[in-house]
Structure 1
Amino acid sequence: MKLKTNRGARALALFAAVSLVAGCGLPRSGPNKKEIYAGSVLKEGDAYIVTVNSRVTRATSVMPAFGFSDTFRNAGLVGADTIAAGDVLAVTVYENVRDDPLLGNTGQRVSQLTEVQVDGQGFIFIPYAGRIKASGNSVESVRSAITRKLDAQTPDPQVQVARVAGDGSTVTITGAVATPGVFPIEQSTRSLSAMLAQSGAMAIDPATALVRVTRGGQTGKIWLKDLWANPKMDIALRPGDRIVIEEDERRFTALGATGTQSIVPFESETLSAIEALATVGGLQTMAADPTGVFVLRNEPEAIANAVLGRKDLRGDQRMIYVLDLTAPTGMFEARDFLVRDGDTLYVTEAPYVQWQKSLSVLTGSAGAAASLDAAAGGN
């Protein structure tokens, strides 16, 4: 009977010791579920704690929508031979006289003006024809204008005009492309997708590439894969357009009992909670609590009101979304719930982990004491 009493007393003492040590500042990856819930608005904290379900998932499934405005989309293709300021033209004039040609020397019936620059105001100068408006006109229109001007001074002139490859009708492509530079708008590269193909391969994963186009004071951007999938977004280019290929800069932070604790870039346009967990190596098998997966974010006013079924909230609200992977639909909810830029994904440790740490501390301390006692007895 005394032996049983001693064993009971020792067990009780061990339990008390473990409880005491567990309540101390043992190392851990972050707050436990109880401490997180203590920060709830219901307990005078500053965050709304919401269990994820299908309604919450629908209310929070808001991703940035990119595309081009009507101004970009309604711009028609530039004519393949439309001249722009800065272009260089080659003009050839054939005259039907030998003895005293207007432009050439005696006996010279063909006169070539190989580099006629279109000035900043869009004009060119042709001897005996004067200044002629070229910018915005086709090569044929300029040829006809030169012919009319010369016709009054030399009999039946024949004029040929060629546009030297788009020195003025150019766009600039920079960013994550294999061959950045200045490219002419030609017959085969008058649309955005065709020009991107001309500039070479992407230097980043196309799945997370953004294409930004700046024209004058307006800017539009689109996911590269949406550009390929939606012909309506394949806008016509204009001289002076600036095209930048950007890498998706969205990130989320993974903390707690996950395979990796770090700032993680998005690997696709949309990222679910289950995909985010997989990206960081999943849950730590021997440490994570699958009932304590949290997503922390500052939610915009409209979404926060929709999630909470309210209309009185003003400004961004701190929200903590709870995912229980052990619930009957928990895995499906995690698969459907979208992680957004700036989110913090936090997984709590299972309760027994702290007990294991406490026992390890106690048994380690007891072992060290026994070693010291044995060493002292040996002396």
Structure 2
Amino acid sequence: MTDCTRLTKVAACTAAILSLSACGLPRSGPTKAELLDASVVEGGQAYVVAVNDNVNAIASVDQTLGFPASFRNAAVVGSDTIRAGDVLGLTIYENVDDGLLAAPGQNAAILNEVQVDGSGFIFVPYAGRIRAAGNTPEAVRQVITNQLGEQTPDPQVEVRRVAGDGAAVSVVGAVTAQGVYPIERPTRTLSGMLARAGGTVVEPEITRVTLLRNGERGSIWFEDLYSQPGNNIALRNGDQIIVEQDTRNYTALGATGQQTLVPFEKQTISALEALAQVGGLSSSIANPTGVFILRREHESIAERLVGADLPSDQRVVYIIDLTEPMGLFHARGFDIRDGDTIYVTEAPYTQFNKGVAALTGSLGAVRTVNQTATGLGG
């Protein structure tokens, strides 16, 4: 066989392999070139942005949670605060024989059941309508004493709670003991109430604590409750505390160790950590120059990235080249967000290798059939 013949056959085989690669071989997704062709610059519908330090600074979003100022500024309430619906007991002592309230021959009047009405008031004869809800028994005692002091000399008043739940909050979700708990001296703050409920049953690093109060909502990370004292807010009657595991996740596809939906393992995850969570890049087929993060980016961030006014949120495709000198640093500085898709493209030679395998496998199968047919004919 001449050299020319050999070259002709090699060329024919190469053409066949390339033809196979282009039309029918299986693959994990689009190639790097195909994703780059999706750029708005190329007439596509996404902005393709190469990740660098400047891009990381723009795309980084503070994921810190926090309570509204109304929660943080609320003062601690006493555990004996009177609430609407509570029942109080009053005893009123007078230093005269013929008092305002006492029966003849007695110097004390006992009012065993004085209910706090829906508006938070009670009625005491000769003292009038008195605000009780929101006050302590001691504060109510002083008001009644002052009111009666204008009509009888030096009255002595005792106020006690006879019945009523007082202030209480509900704790639900990922705690040891869900339930409704009274606000008592040890449980007047969020940390005390969570401790009363047995603490969280999931990893503290991925636990969120949400508090609902009068139509307002605030959330913090469980760890921040102890690292930032301002988050240990005072509780109020009717508060609802929800403890839950972080539900954020991202999707890993392409030439990675796993192709799966991945939950966040901590509050912030970089692109490098996200790749490590799924086993890194597949060493046999991955293209380290084609690591993509696909995201629906907020309008304000997209405008800063592309340097132009945009009408709405935009599809943005971030690309990281891990073979560049700073590639690993850029990947470590890029924060993954909830709902992101990480896609690693296959190396260009992968499709060629698949073509070779398909072609040689097909030729081998044909050769086997021919040999079998020859044997049967003989």
Rounded Cα–Cα distance in structure 2 between residues aligned with 1:13 and 1:327:
36
Is the aligned partner of 1:172 residue 2:182? no
Q: Is the 8 A contact 2:88 2:163 kept in 1?
A: no
SS at match of 2:305: helix
Match of 2:236 among 231, 235, 238: 238
What is the match of residue 183 of structure 2? 185
Match of 1:136 among 134, 137, 141: 134
- Equivalent positions of 1:330-349 (< 5 A) are 330-349=327-346
Give, in angstroms, the shift of residue 93 of structure 1: 7.7
Identity of aligned residues (%): 53
What is the match of residue 266 of structure 1? 264
Rounded Cα–Cα distance in structure 1 between residues aligned with 2:273 and 2:163:
48
Residue type matched to 1:334 in 2? A
What is the match of residue 28 of structure 1? 27
Match of 1:227 among 209, 225, 228: 225
SS at match of 2:373: helix
Rounded Cα–Cα distance in structure 2 between residues aligned with 1:334 and 1:131:
68
Match of 2:349 among 348, 352, 355: 352
1:163–1:321 distance in 2 versus 1, CA, 3 Å: same
SS at match of 2:24: coil
Give, in angstroms, the shift of residue 53 of structure 1: 0.4
Q: Is the 8 A contact 2:81 2:166 kept in 1?
A: no
Give, in angstroms, the shift of residue 161 of structure 1: 4.3
Instruction: Give the root-mean-square deviation of aligned CA atoms.
Output: 3.3
Rounded Cα–Cα distance in structure 2 between residues aligned with 1:172 and 1:361:
64
Superposed CA offset, 1:213-237 (max 9, x none): 2221222222222222111222211
Is the aligned partner of 1:10 residue 2:9? yes
1:196–1:103 distance in 2 versus 1, CA, 3 Å: farther
Give, in angstroms, the shift of residue 44 of structure 1: 0.9
1:350–1:116 distance in 2 versus 1, CA, 3 Å: farther
Give, in angstroms, the shift of residue 5 of structure 1: 3.0
Normalising by the residue count of structure 1, what TM-score does the alignment of the two structures yield?
Answer: 0.86
1:178–1:128 distance in 2 versus 1, CA, 3 Å: farther
What is the match of residue 376 of structure 1? 373
Q: Is the 8 A contact 1:103 1:127 kept in 2?
A: no
Rounded Cα–Cα distance in structure 2 between residues aligned with 1:348 and 1:121:
67
SS at match of 1:34: helix
Q: Is the 8 A contact 2:79 2:167 kept in 1?
A: no
Q: Is the 8 A contact 2:38 2:44 kept in 1?
A: yes
Rounded Cα–Cα distance in structure 2 between residues aligned with 1:173 and 1:372:
72
Give, in angstroms, the shift of residue 127 of structure 1: 9.4
What is the match of residue 248 of structure 1? 246
SS at match of 1:188: helix
SS at match of 2:63: coil
Rounded Cα–Cα distance in structure 1 between residues aligned with 2:145 and 2:41:
85
Rounded Cα–Cα distance in structure 2 between residues aligned with 1:65 and 1:166:
39
SS at match of 1:58: helix
Q: Is the 8 A contact 1:146 1:159 kept in 2?
A: yes
What is the match of residue 326 of structure 1? 323
Is the aligned partner of 1:317 residue 2:300? no
What is the match of residue 75 of structure 1? 74
SS at match of 1:50: strand
Q: Which deviates the most, 122-131 or 81-90?
A: 122-131
- Equivalent positions of 1:76-95 (< 5 A) are 76-87=75-86, 89=88
Residue type matched to 2:357 in 1? S
Residue type matched to 1:196 in 2? L
Q: Which deviates the most, 362-371 or 246-255?
A: 246-255
Q: Which deviates the most, 176-185 or 4-13?
A: 4-13
Give, in angstroms, the shift of residue 151 of structure 1: 9.1
Rounded Cα–Cα distance in structure 1 between residues aligned with 2:179 and 2:129:
32
1:307–1:148 distance in 2 versus 1, CA, 3 Å: closer
1:182–1:50 distance in 2 versus 1, CA, 3 Å: same
Aligned positions, number: 375
Rounded Cα–Cα distance in structure 2 between residues aligned with 1:55 and 1:232:
33
Give, in angstroms, the shift of residue 281 of structure 1: 1.8
Is the aligned partner of 1:208 residue 2:209? no
Match of 2:358 among 358, 361, 367: 361
Q: Which deviates the most, 64-73 or 187-196?
A: 64-73
Normalising by the residue count of structure 2, what TM-score does the alignment of the two structures yield?
Answer: 0.87
Rounded Cα–Cα distance in structure 2 between residues aligned with 1:60 and 1:70:
27
What is the match of residue 46 of structure 1? 45
Rounded Cα–Cα distance in structure 1 between residues aligned with 2:146 and 2:33:
89
Structure 1: 5+ residue stretches without partners: none
1:58–1:148 distance in 2 versus 1, CA, 3 Å: closer
1:112–1:354 distance in 2 versus 1, CA, 3 Å: same
SS at match of 1:327: coil
Superposed CA offset, 1:230-256 (max 9, x none): 112222111111222233222211111
What is the match of residue 58 of structure 1? 57
SS at match of 1:213: strand
Structure 2: 5+ residue stretches without partners: none
Give, in angstroms, the shift of residue 321 of structure 1: 0.6
Give, in angstroms, the shift of residue 132 of structure 1: 5.2
Rounded Cα–Cα distance in structure 1 between residues aligned with 2:371 and 2:316:
56
SS at match of 2:185: coil
